[in-house]
Structure formats: C-alpha cells, structure tokens
A and B are shown apart, each in its own frame.
Chain A
Amino acid sequence: MEKIDIVKQEALNAIEQCSTLEELNQIRVTYLGKKGPIQSLMSLMKGLSAEEKPAFGAEVNACKQAVAAVLEEKKTELEEKALLERLVKEKIDVTLPAAPIKTGTLHPLTLVAQEMEDLFISMGYTIGEGPEVELDLYNFERANIPQDHPARDMQDTFYINPEVLLRTHTTAIQMRELEKAGGKLPVKVICPGKVYRRDDDDATHSHQFMQCEGLVVAENITLADLKGTLSYMADRMFGKGREIRFRPSYFQFTEPSVEVDVSCHMCGGKGCPVCKGTGWIEVLGGGMVHPNVLEMAGFDSKKCSGFAFGVGVERVAMLKYGVDDIRNFYINDARFLKMFDRFD
C-alpha cells in the first residue's frame, strides 16, 4: 500500500513541476501508460491474498484516477496559460486606420428631393413626371400664361421652336398631371424636376436648377390646407417647430397667390445673418389653383378647388447646408459631394 502512495506522490510531484503541455503529455505517457509505474503496481497483486486483492485493486485504480484528474486540471491550467500568452502576442494597435469600406454619396439635390417625395408619399401623394423638352402648351398656355403675357418676360425661356421649349418650371408637370386625371378627383401629386431659364450663372443664379411642386385638387380644398401642408413640409425639411408665414404674391396659375416664409432654422426666428436679421426665410411660393387652369384641364372649377406650391430644391439645400454658391451643385467636385453623406 505504501508503494501506491509513493508512486502517486511521485506522479503528483512531476505534474506539479511540469510547465508545458508537452512535458505534461510526457508525464501522462510515463505514469498512466501500460508500462507505467501505476500499471506495474498491478503485478504486485500476485503476492496478495484473495481477501487483500480487491482492496488493493481498488486502491490502484483510485490512484490512477486521482493522477488522471490532477493531470487534467493541470492541462486546463496550462492551456489557459498558453492561450493568454498567444493573445498577448496577437496584440494590435487599435488606433491604426481602418481598412477602407468607402461608400458613395447621393447628390445633395437628390437628398432634398427624396426627402420631400417621401414626406408627400406618406401623405398619399404620387410623384408626377414630365419631359424637360416640353410643349409651350403645358409650360405656358395651360398654366394661364398666354402668348404675350409679361410673365413670359420674367421667365426667360430656352425655346427650341415656337411650340417647344425647355420647361421653365415644374408647373408644366402639374399641367400634364391635371390633364391625365381627366377631371377625376382627387389629384394629389408632387412634381420634382429640372427646369431651365435663360439666366447667366453666378453664385445665386443658374440656367438649370431643380424645382419641386405639389398639387392637390379636390372638393373644398382651402388656403388653410396649404398652410397646414407646408407647415409639415417645413418641419421635415428644416427641423421640427418651424413657423410658416404667408405673404401676398402673384403667379399666373394661382389666385390668391402667396410667398411663403419659414421661420429661420439657424436662429429659431430671433434674427441672424442667414435670415438677414428678419427671423424669416423666403422659401416657397404657392396659392389656390386658378379656375382657368382647372377649367382648361377639364375640371369644373365650381365643384372643386385646389392648392399648388413650389419650392427651389437648390434653395432648400443651400439654406439647409449653408452652401454659398449654387454652381457647386453642378461642378461635382469630389470634396463637395462627399460632405453630403446623409440627409440630416
């Protein structure tokens, strides 16, 4: 029996002193192998009486299990240690620059137009479209702007021939949408698009720019409805809590017509350089659809009414992002484009 204890102690000492997994494996082979000292204890059984044998056998087995258990414990310990050492070696500099996952950006005019589209889609509008090479009919005649009206002087036009031109406003799309509706109510449409005017390009003028117009025609549409609708739009485009102010204006296709000011998003209306100290920024135009426009498109102006509004997409983008020169939108300098990585 003492012999067992001696062997066991020897094995445990060896395990204790072992420091690598290789050594430990050697110990396992040495002590627990078929020719190892524990197994060879079994040969001592021969000299024992039948009564002693079972107890001795059990004792050897217990010794074997105890050694195996300690071995396993030590193995786990050494493995953990080895892992820790490896991890230390794998240390990286977390401040090194990232691998590139470059994404592109959407054009700021797209960001603004899509935001408007999404707002109006959520209110049940569809998005109207039409050709940029447009008929005089839809651009002027249907919009209640007859041939020699002074308004045609205000909107100097790129004509292709007397009947065809580059559209000067997205009102042309609205006129097509009205015609398409064929007198059927309601019409609820928003019309974004490029438009063209004979302007010399400078910081605030561009011969090409983007407009977005909206149109609702149904029974009992009121000017107050326009104010409510635009109030939602102002909140969405410039941040919650914007105020809306109407001022009288003149457009041929609406009567009454209004200019729409939005309380300044930079100063909240207190007055700052962006709003030139007034607290208000002129952003939109709109009004109640002129009865002539409704009638020309086949609607009975006595049975329905409508509102329309229009906004310059560049104007919104310039105000919102503080862009100081409209030409930036068309140069496509990579340094400019990459600033607009979200609508914000």
Chain B
Amino acid sequence: MRCSINWLKKYVNLDGVTPEELAEKLTRAGLEVEGIEKVAEGTNLVIGEVLTCVEHPDSDHLHVTTVNVGDEVLNIVCGAPNVAAGQKVIVSKVGAKLAGGFEIKPAKVRGVESNGMICSLSELGVDKKWQTEEQLSGIYVFEEDAPVGETNVLEYLGLDDTILDIGLTPNRADCNAMWNLAVEVAAVLHREVSLPAYEGASKCGAPTSFKLASKTEKCPVFVGKVVNHVKVGPSPKWMQNVLHSYGIKSINNVVDISNYVMIETGQPLHYYDLSKLPHHEITVVDDVDMTMQALDGIDYEIKKGDLLITTGGVPTGIAGIMGGEESKIDEQTTSIFIEAAAFNAVSIRNTSRRLGLATEAASHFIKGLEPLSQMKAVDRSVQLLKELAEADGFEENVQVGVIDESVKTVTETLTHCNTLLGTDFAMEDVLKILTELNLNPVQDGDSFTCTIPSYRTDLNIREDIDEEIIRMLGYEGLKKTLPTMEATVGELTPIQKARRTVRTALSGMGLSEAVTYTLVSKAAIDHEVMSFGSAVELASPMSEERRYVRTSLMPKLMECLAYNAAHKNENINLFEISAVYAQDKVQERVGLVLSGSLQNSKLHGVNITSDFYTLKGVLESLLKQLGITANRLNYKENTMDVKNFHPYRSACIYLGKELLGMMGEVHPALVKQLGLPKGAVVAEFRLDLLMNVKLTKVKFKPIAKYPSVKRDIALVVKSEVKASELSAVISKAGKALVKNIEVFDVYEGEHVEKGFKSVALSILYQADDHTLTEQEITTVHTNILSALEKQCNAVLRG
C-alpha cells in the first residue's frame, strides 16, 4: 500500500510528526513501512521567468539565458532544447540540493558564467512514469500565470509529498482503504481522526428500471446505480496529485472519482458509460468460453469459471479485473452506471493470474473486502460525483444479494490477556488504545467487550484483541521468561542418533556432507538406484528439470561430482543423508560418492585411492559404528543395475534377506556422459532398514592370554573363485582356533596358469584357554588345506 502523507493530513493532524517518525510508529504497530519516498526533492528552488535566451557562442546546443527570479536576475547557461524567452520555469539557485544529492554551484560553462540551473522534473527526482513526453524531453514549463519569485515550488507543483510504502500483512487488507489506514495512523499517534461524512449519500433518486442479476455465488453482492447526468472534464489538481501518489494516472474527473473512492474505501468500482450499454441490464455469469477485448484494447481468452459482466447476454467486462472497451467512459460520456460488487477473491485471483492482468481492482478483490464496502463506495461516489462532476438525475440503487450488516462483539478479560502475554497491562491503558482503534470497548469488571467495526474482519476472538493491545502498547516492555512446567527429557530418536553417527563417522573418514535438491528431472528418475516404486510427480512443475520427487540420492550426488570435476576440484568425496519418495512410500538413505583419493601425499608416499575397496572399507567402518558388523553383510555380484554401475565392479549388499544397498564403480559410459572423474565409485544404502534390525551390541570379551601363531599360505585356484569362499572354508575347517584370516596378495599372470590365480592368505591361530602346541597347529592347518583342496580345488603354491 502506497500512502501519501499529504492525503493523510486531510484526516489526521500530522503537525510535528516527520514521515520517518510516523513510519517507525506504524512499523512498531505491525504496519511495516518498507520505504519512504519523496515524490520530488530540491532546496533553494524558485519560479523564474526567462527574460532573454540566446545561443551559446561556443556550443551548438547550449543556451545563455537571463532569468528573473523575483529579487534578482540570474545569468544561467541551459542545455535544454525547449528553453525559450518568456517561459516560466523552475530555477534551482546556487546552493540548491536536488534529487540524488546533486548540488548547484556557480560555474563557468565554456567561458560563460552560470549561476543556477533551469530544471526538468527528472532533475527533481520525479519518476519518469508520471511525466509526459514533453516533460521528459526538457525543462518544465509552467502555465503563464505562475508567480515569479515563488519559492515553495514543490508545493506549487503539488509535488511536496512523501509516500510511505507499507507492506501489509494479509490480515490487515482493510488498510488498503485509506480511511482505515487513517484510523490506524491516528491510533498510533494518539490523535483524532476526521473522516468525511458520506453515509446515506446514495439514498436518493427516482425509481429505476435497471435490471441487475448474478447467476453465480461467486458474486454474492452487487450494488449499482444509474446517474443520468454527469459532466466529464479534468479532475481537480488535488485529486490528480493524490492518485499520482498512489500510482494511478489521472484520466478525467469521473474515472478519477472511481479510483479515488476505491482507495478511500478499498472497494473497486467500475463506472460504465450508460449510453453505451445496449440494455439497461447487467448479469454476472461464470460459464462462458470466449475472447473479449478489455479497456486496454487487448483480447483476452475467457474460460468457464471466470467471472464475467454481461449486458443483454453480451460480455462487457472481466468482472473485478477490467472493464470492456465498448462501455468505457470518455469525454463524450454524459450518463453512467456505477458498479460496486463483491467478487470471490479466489476466482479473481485465478483469472487475473491466468490472463496476466494484475490490475489495482483485482488486487483489492484478491486481498479481500469488508462487508459494507459496496455501500460505502456507492455513497461516496454519489457524494463526489455531485461535488466534482455536476452529477444529477440519479436513480435509486439496484442491488443483488444481501449485505451482511451484523455487528460482531468480542469479549476478553484483562486477566486472560495478561496471562497469555505475560504482561501486567492496566485496564485504563487497554481501554484507551482500544477506543483509539475504534473498537468501542465497554468495561464490566475484569472483562471488556469490543464492538468490532465492519472493516476489521481480522478481529474475531479474544486473542485477536490481545494482539491489538500489545501491538499498540508496545512489545518493548515484554519480559523474558522461560516456560514453567514439570521437567521433560530431551533426546534423539534412534534414527536421529543414527544420522548423527553417519555424519560423525563419514566426516571423520574424509567425506564431506552435501545437500542437494529433492526435485529432479525424468533423467534422474531413469538413473535411480534401488527402485522402490514409481516416482511422485508434481501436478504443475515449474520446469522439466524439477518435475519429480527423487527416488534415490545417486543422480544428484553424481551431478555434484560432475560440477566439481568441471571446476577442477579434485579428490571429491561426498555423502548425503535424505529421505527419498515413491508413490505412498518413503525410505531414508545415505549416498556416498568417492573420486580421486581419500588421503594422498606424494611427499609422504600416502595414497588411499577412492576405489571400490576404499568405499567398501568406508561403508563397513560406518556400518560397524551403526551396529552392523561386517560379518553380517553379504556382498553379491550386481546383476540388477548395470546401467549405473560397472557390471563387474559393483555389488549388492544384503543384510539378511533384505537389500541394504548397492555400491560400485560408476559405469564408464555414465562417467563419460556426465563428465565424472574416471573410476568414481558410489554407494547408496538404506538407513531406515537399520532401524528394524537387531544391532550388534558392544560386549566385553576377555583379552586373549595365550600367544597366537600366524601361518601364511599361497593357493592357486580358478580365477572365478572368490576370496570370501576361501575364507569361509578356512573358518569352517579351522573352527574356533582360527582367529583371523587376512588376504594379503592376489596375483594373476605370468607365473600362474591362465584361468587361475594365486591368493595369499595369512591365518592367525589362537586358543582361548591354552598355548597351542606345534602338533595342534599342524593338525588344524592340514585340515584346512585339505578342505580347501576338496571344496575349492585349491592347490598349495610351491
């Protein structure tokens, strides 16, 4: 809401209150002033008369003038093309400060002395959109009768105004009406407000034959009035200035009145040229599909559901948004029909949006009207039309629907108010401010009952009144306390704890946490990992890039990796924890991407490459910290997703029978397509799954008292035999004596027959209750070797 200080002064005495002070007070009371804007700026200005004007001897565009400013004649060099002798002009004298801090100093312009400047409106800071072509192209020229020597130039121009730009919260749409805003201003200043008396002004006129109807509940109330005589002409300067300050161009007195009353009352009005309405009949409908031309000369597609004004079955206006071209008021108009209707906010919002027509009227409807605004607007229209447009020949009001004239009351007690707020306000102060807000409080002991004016649709319950009280009495004095109640225990849930474990563990291992967008493209859905249902799709996405709710973390994490690769960031190791969604399903997952190396230093000969096995190590270490030891995990070759993963360097990780996650190298084709670092490895697993399984508990075991013995073996086996199979056989054959098996070398090549490989393992033997004898070790070791030979065709390498 733009609010003109000059306009406000009509209703509230603002003596001694600067716009800045008022802005501060309004902001404190909840009407946030977001900007204070001077319509024009300039000091040391005077109206002058150009006595002589000759061309500058040393320039092809400058003029040398003498200007009478009343008490002296100034020599001024002027560059404007339209300057001429005899003009009355705005002169800024030496020492003047103009918009933007520009200062006027005595100067010599190409050898000619210049003491001041003849100004354009732009130089006074007047916005371009309020100026005519002529005004924009040069200096401002007054009418001939302008008083030379007048120093209150801005006031003379009607530009000595300041505009407060107020950001209204949705509940205070009433303050889009200047009158309601004036009440608010008076209340914050504790001053009187005097609004024009206009009630009942429309209770006049002869019987009417005008027919009004609404065929839709989206137009519950419509008040109309025929005025058989008006005289169209320019509107008075004060009204033009006011509209100007509000951002509305002056057209003529009649149209200006409709806009002026809209700002005063908040009720959008439409005045029709009565003679251009083919029938004295208006019907509001919302069931038409057609194209119609509005006031702005543009054709608009009207669809079923849009509110439309029709006359004789023919559309004549987009209801609440813009009138039609045919019935527009112009210089020839002599009679009018006044429309003040209540149109459904949602319907207007939808139509206005779809058509891209964000008119002032539409904006008022969308923000919501008060129940009495139609009648207020018609009353005030009649009053102003009489005063300013010689209106006569009124017919009585026509009306559709019933205006809700019920009066709301809200009762509150001082005790409840102070209890809710934690304050100790006194009854006297409370009653005073409620009175100033026009809420008519009546006290009864501890309680008081407010009679709510029609426009305060936001006040319905006692808490609403409490807010009025504290916003006016001020939040400054509010104490700082903490809730008093029985102690409660604050704690994390298991999944919340698990997330923190993931973060601590992975960041400790050198991975950084990423947060990526939830909404993704079709391509990202196509590249999901571990599909668990079809993706959730937005009804109206903003772009194809963000059409779906992601079903897996990997696509976005790979995008991060690609971004970093493109920016030459190396060794990128990231993780993300997030929920992912499918139709009616949700999973919580952890995603990891590793590239380059995890730790490396040429200088110190360190290089932990970010490869499959490093990723496996990271995962196992993490899962162990989450309560899943590595021996509970089952790695199976990946056959389910060969689109994202390298088919021979990836695995499905099972926990029991459930698929916990997948890991592996990114498919080389995808690496190339996305521009990922070569050999990047990724993993995604379900954190939510861990919440449903039994976690391994930390348990004390006595530290081994007896020595251990290590035996190394090198086995030649067929290439496809897995290390895990060998380990399993060893564990089984060695029973409790085998404490650890370490694979320390795998070799395929020259010294091993083709199709075979050599696997070197180190087996650690130890008994819990005695020192193993050489005999015992040899026995178990022999058993193991023969089991390996039998079950894996493993041959001890000589």
Residues of chain A having any CB pair with chain B under 8 Å: 96-97, 99-107, 109-110, 114, 117, 120-127, 129, 131-133, 148, 150-151, 153-154, 158-161, 166, 186, 188, 194, 196, 198, 200, 207-208, 216, 218-225, 227-229, 231-232, 244-250, 255-258, 288, 290-291, 305, 329-335, 337-338
List, in ascending order, chain B residues with CB within 8 A of A154's CB: 170
With A121-B490, A224-B421, A288-B420 in contact, is A133–B513 under 8 Å at CB?
no
Contact (Cβ within 8 A) A334 B564: yes
Quote the shortest CB–CB distance from B184 to chain A (angstroms): 12
Q: In the complex where A150-B368, A224-B480, A247-B27 touch, is A96 in contact with B564 (Cβ < 8 A)? A: no
Given contacts A225-B481, A332-B574, contact A196 B518 (CB under 8 A): yes
Q: How distant is B739 from chain A, measured CB to nearest CB, in Å? A: 30
Residue pair A333, B420 in contact (C-beta under 8 Å): no
Task: Across the interface, name the chain A residue whose C-beta is closest to B569.
Answer: A334
Q: Check B538–A123 contact: CB distance below 8 A.
A: no
What chain A residues lie within 8 Å of B367 (beta carbons)? 150
Partner of B515, one of A125, A158, A221, A329: A329
Q: Are A332 and B419 in contact (CB under 8 A)?
A: no
Question: Are the C-beta atoms of B515 and A109 separated by less than 8 Å?
Answer: yes
Question: Which of B277-285, B311-319, B448-456, B491-499 lines the interface with chain A?
Answer: B491-499
> Given A229-B483, A334-B564 in contact, is the A256-B463 Cβ separation under 8 Å?
yes
Selected from A99, A208, A305, the residue in CB contact (under 8 A) with B519 is: A208
The residue of chain A having its C-beta at the shortest distance from the C-beta of B538 within the complex is A158
* Cα–Cα, bound, A257→B485 (Å): 23
**Which residues of B lie under 8 Å from residue A257 when comparing CB positions?**
467
Q: Considering the complex, give the chain B residue whose CB is closest to the CB of A190.
A: B490
Per a CB cutoff under 8 Å, which of A109, A161, A196, A228 touches B482? A228
In the complex, per-residue mask of B527-539: 1 if CB is within 8 Å of any chain A CB, else 0: 0000000001111
Q: Which of B58-66, B406-414, B501-509, B712-720 sits within the interface?
A: B501-509
Q: A99-B601, A207-B542 are in contact. Are A124 and B422 (CB under 8 A)?
A: no
B508 touches A224 (CB 8 A): no
Instruction: Flag the segment in B28-36, B238-246, B262-270, B790-798 that touches A.
Output: B28-36
Q: Inter-chain contact count A-B, CB under 8 Å?
A: 241
Contact with A246, one of B478, B500, B603 (Cβ below 8 angstroms):
B478
Bound: A288/B467 CA distance, A: 10
**Interface residue from B422, B463, B560, B598 paired with A332 (Cβ < 8 Å):** B560
Q: A105-B507, A250-B169, A335-B569 are in contact. Are A221 and B490 (CB under 8 A)?
A: no
**Distance, CA A124 to CA B484, complexed state (A):** 12
Q: Is B82's CB within 8 Å of the partner chain A?
A: no
Choose one: B170, B345, B515, B603; the contact of A250 (CB below 8 Å). B170
In the assembled complex, the CB of B702 is this many whole angstroms from the nearest CB of chain A, namely 33
**Residue in A closest to B344 when the chains form the complex, CB atoms:** A148
Closest B residue to A225 by CB, please name it. B483
Q: Are B422 and A103 in contact (CB under 8 A)?
A: no
Q: Is B604 an interface residue (CB 8 A)?
A: yes
Tell me whether B599 is interfacial, beta carbon within 8 Å.
yes
Contact between B470 and A122, CB atoms less than 8 A apart: no
Question: Which residues of the other chain, A, contact B76 by a CB distance below 8 angstroms?
Answer: none
Chain A residues positioned under 8 Å from B366 (CB to CB): 150, 153
Known: A222-B420, A249-B169. A107 touches B513 (CB 8 A): yes
Interface string of B585-603 (1 = CB under 8 A from A): 0100000000000111101
- Could you tell me the distance between the alpha carbons of A186 and B506 in the complex, rounded to whole angstroms? 37
Name which residue of chain B comes closest to A222, CB basis: B422
Whether the pair B542, A200 counts as a contact (CB closer than 8 A) is yes
**How distant is the Cα of A151 from the Cα of B367 in the complex, in angstroms?**
10
B563 at interface (Cβ–Cβ under 8 A)? yes
**Does B667 touch A at the CB level, under 8 Å?**
no
B contact residues around A107 at 8 Å (CB):
512-515
The answer to whether A105 touches B513, judged by C-beta atoms less than 8 angstroms apart, is: yes
Instruction: Pick 23 A–B contacts, CB within 8 A, sort by A.
Output: A97-B601, A99-B603, A102-B599, A104-B508, A104-B511, A106-B503, A110-B503, A117-B492, A127-B493, A129-B496, A131-B579, A153-B366, A194-B518, A207-B517, A207-B546, A220-B484, A222-B419, A222-B420, A224-B480, A225-B422, A256-B463, A256-B471, A291-B461
Are B493 and A221 touching (Cβ within 8 A)? Answer: no
Chain A residues near B170 (CB-CB < 8 A): 150-151, 154, 250
- Per a CB cutoff under 8 Å, which of B470, B483, B509 touches A221? B483
Contact mask B309-332 → A, CB, 8 Å, 1/0?
000000000000000000000000
B residues bordering A, Cβ < 8 Å?
27-30, 32, 169-173, 345-346, 349, 366-368, 419-423, 461, 463-464, 466-467, 470-471, 475-476, 478-493, 496, 500, 503, 506-519, 536-542, 546, 549, 560, 563-564, 567, 569, 572-575, 579, 581, 586, 598-601, 603-604, 606
Question: Does A333 contact B518, Cβ atoms closer than 8 Å?
Answer: no
Where chain A touches its partner, the secondary structure class is mixed
Contact A186 B599 (CB under 8 A): no
Instruction: For the complex formed, measure the closest distance between the CB of B606 and the CB atoms of chain A, giving whole angstroms.
Output: 6
Q: Which residues of B contact A225 (CB under 8 A)?
A: 422, 481-483
Which residue from chain B places its CB closest to the CB of A220 in the assembled complex? B419
Alpha-carbon separation in the docked complex, A255 to B462 (Å): 10
| Complex contact A227–B169 (CB within 8 A) | no
Q: A153-B366, A333-B563 are in contact. Are A99 and B422 (CB under 8 A)?
A: no
Q: B513–A150 contact, CB under 8 A? A: no
From B30, B463, B481, B574, contact of A249 by CB (8 A):
B30
Chain B residues within 8 Å of A133, by CB: 536, 549, 581, 586
B416 shortest CB reach to chain A, Å: 9
Least CB distance from B407 to A in Å reads: 22
Q: Using Cβ atoms and an 8 Å threshold, which residues of chain B touch A223?
A: 420-423, 470, 478
- Known: A247-B32, A288-B463, A334-B512. Is A218-B483 also a contact (CB below 8 A)? yes
Taking A103-B509, A245-B476, A248-B470 as known contacts, 11 extra A-B pairs with beta carbons closer than 8 A to each other, sorted by chain A number, are: A103-B508, A126-B490, A133-B581, A148-B346, A186-B486, A208-B519, A223-B420, A229-B483, A231-B480, A257-B467, A331-B560
Considering the chains assembled together, what is the distance between the CA atoms of A198 and B349 in angstroms?
Answer: 16
Closest chain-B Cβ to A220's Cβ sits at a distance in Å of: 6
Which residues of A have CB within 8 Å of B483? 186, 188, 216, 218, 221, 225, 229
Interface centre among B169, B540, B581 (most CB of A within 10 A): B169
A177–B514 Cα distance when bound, in Å, is 28
Cα–Cα, bound, A74→B788 (Å): 61
Report the bound CA distance from A196 to B601 in whole Å: 43
Say whether B542 contacts A224, CB under 8 Å: no
CA distance A114 to B497 in the complex (A): 11
Residue pair A224, B481 in contact (C-beta under 8 Å)? yes
Q: Which residues of A contact B516 (CB under 8 A)?
A: 330, 332
Residue on A with the closest CB to B462? A291
Output the least CB separation between B216 and chain A (Å).
15
Question: Inside 8 A of B478's CB, which chain A residues have their CB?
Answer: 223-224, 227, 246
List chain A residues, Cβ under 8 A from B586: 131, 133
**Which 3 A-B residue pairs are closest in the complex by CB-CB distance?**
A224-B422, A248-B30, A222-B422
Within the complex, what minimum Cβ distance (angstroms) separates A10 from chain B? 51
With a 10 A CB-CB cut-off, give which of A103, A153, A332 has the most chain B CB atoms.
Answer: A332
Q: In the complex, which residue of chain B has the Cβ closest to the Cβ of A250?
A: B169
